[in-house]
Amino acid sequence: MPARSHDWFSQALRDLEQAEDSRGAGRHEWACFAAQQAAEKAVEALHLSAGQEAWGHVVARLLRELPAGVEPPAELIEKGRVLDAYYIPPRYPNSHPEGAPFEHYGPLQSAEAVRYAREILDFVRVRMA
Question: What is the pTM (predicted TM-score) of this model?
Answer: 0.96
**Of 39, 26, 36, 37, the residue nearest 107 (C-alpha):** 26
Euclidean distance between CA atoms 8 and 49, whole angstroms:
10
* Domains by residue range for the chain, with CATH: 5-128 (1.20.120.330)
Q: What local confidence, expressed as pLDDT, does residue 5 receive?
A: 96
Mean pLDDT calculated for residue range 87-99:
96
Q: What local confidence, expressed as pLDDT, does residue 129 receive?
A: 86
pLDDT tens for 7-48 read 999 999 999 999 999 999 999 999 999 999 999 999 999 999
SS (H, E, C) 78-129: HHHHHHHCCCCCCCCHHHCCCCCHHHHCCHHHHHHHHHHHHHHHHHHHHHHC
